[in-house]
Amino acid sequence: MVQITTALNERPAHAPRGQRIPVAVLGATGSVGQRFVQLLEHHPWFRLHEAVASERSAGKSYREAAGWKLDTILPDEAGNLRVKELGADLESRLVFSGLDSSVAGEAEELYAGRGCVVVSNSKNHRMGDDVPLLIPELNADHVAAIDQQRRRRGGRGYIVTNPNCSTIGLAMAIAPIERLYGIDQLHVSTMQAISGAGYAGVSSFAILDNVIPYISGEEDKVETEPRKILGHWDGSRFVPAEMRISAQTNRVPTIDGHLMTISLSLRKHDANFLERIREAIETFIGEPQKIGLPSAPRRPLHYIDEPDRPQTRLDRDREHGMAVSVGRLRPCPLLDLRMVALVHNTIRGAAGAAILNAELLEAKGLL
């Protein structure tokens, strides 16, 4: 029996429930926005206070405007919210953004300028010079850039972002390898679910019994973002990791979950690199595990032994969709090793990623 809950661990939370922080969700009626609303329902630190969407939805109840499309029941508290128009003054200081990139750039600037902490899933500011592109398990220290960003803006507001959904799966899967040996070259070919394109993004006529070997702008993101994530902040700028990536991205008829095949070469080697890498994957933890963030998976990476795993439908929900699954670690005839990775694209790869980012900011006193 499948019980849908938010991914709350049972460890003591840092913030008492009675004082949950009110938050706003920008783009609340879209596919990422609905995931935000779903994941916030039982969140111990945050409370959905404002739903913000386009002019077309403004003034309606969230229930009416959203046409709820997830397989859980829309909570009444959210359903009864009156949707505010994008650009309106907000009462929440913490703002999640699931906006479409056509409007996210300007709107997020606007709210950061008004002093809000904008935790965005949109692509617009990801590569910004002083904008952290966060995966808390990998680069929690990138929040150091916030200071510089605040100084630039002249206020308390700022923007942090999470990476592209495929990038998150890739970057998490290879992070232990990058740390152990350094990665030189990497080929990745993705098989991405349709939910990544939003509710109306992929028509059923386009994708049933089909594969589309193209996703607009996706390959560039997957080739670029991991270098910033796995690089470091040197006090004044982000220094990217040196790895070079070739990405080919494909849309397949699955609902949730981006699966990818990876082949890569290392900068250093030793005799037992496959064994050591596997162990590093299995034991990998990061800041969210150490400080006990409520949405953090116990183990961010699940290595699965069976030769035909991970599989999209069977493994995407591990740790409430917050763990990345890895399998088929084996030698490559051309480079050093090959592997398969899987990420739940709308949870770990989008709304869940942003919420974990906000939890990190709260735990570090940055809200």
Nearest distance, CB of residue 117 and a second copy, angstroms: 22
**Residue 69 CB coordination number (10 Å):** 12
Strands 324-331 and 337-343: antiparallel
Strands 183-192 and 158-161: unpaired
CA angle 74, 108, 230 (to 5 degrees): 95
Write down the catalytic residue from 43, 116, 125, 165: 165
Nearest distance, CB of residue 65 and a second copy, angstroms: 14
Of 135, 184, 187, give the one whose Cα is nearest residue 161: 135
Nearest distance, CB of residue 270 and a second copy, angstroms: 22
Nearest distance, CB of residue 64 and a second copy, angstroms: 11
**What is the H or E stretch that residue 174 is in?**
helix 165-181
Q: How many CA atoms are closer than 13 Å to the CA of 152, on its beta-carbon side? A: 14
Which residue, 86 or 193, is less far from a second copy as judged by CB?
Answer: 193
Write down the catalytic residue from 125, 142, 258, 320: 258
Nearest distance, CB of residue 49 and a second copy, angstroms: 20
320: which DSSP letter? G
Burial class (CB in 10 A: 0-12, 13-18, 19+), 95: buried
- The reply to whether 165 belongs to the active site is yes
- The reply to whether 258 belongs to the active site is yes
Tokens of 8: 């709350």
**What is the H or E stretch that residue 345 is in?**
none
**What is the H or E stretch that residue 133 is in?**
none
Q: What are the residue numbers of the active site?
A: 165, 258
